[in-house]
Amino acid sequence: MRTTITLNDDTHMLASYYAHARGLTLSAAIDELIRKAQSVPEEIQFSPSGLPMFPPGGGTVTAELIKQIEAEEYDPQAFA
């Protein structure tokens, strides 16, 4: 389908760079970007308050896990 669209200069530049980097025409690049944008809401879930959430299936973050990570990453010499 052939149609005419108007893009802001910065959006056009971004789409052009994307097209060039992927070896696509500008039309194909815009089509690909729109299709990618359509798939994003399925991957991102939002809480009732509107905050984005991690996908289900991840581990539980506990206080003990945070303490363990802090202990592994803390280097007293870096702060001396």
The full 3-state SS of the chain, as one line of letters, equals CCCCCCCCHHHHHHHHHHHHHHCCCHHHHHHHHHHHHHHHHHHCEECCCCCEECCCCCCCCCHHHHHHHHHHHCCHHHHC
- pLDDT for the residue numbered 52: 79
Residue 6 has pLDDT above 60, yes or no: yes
Q: What is the pLDDT of residues 41-61, one digit of tens each?
A: 556 778 888 887 776 666 788
CA distance 80 to 44: 41
Higher pLDDT, 38 or 49: 49
On average, the pLDDT of the chain sits at 83
- pLDDT for the residue numbered 78: 65
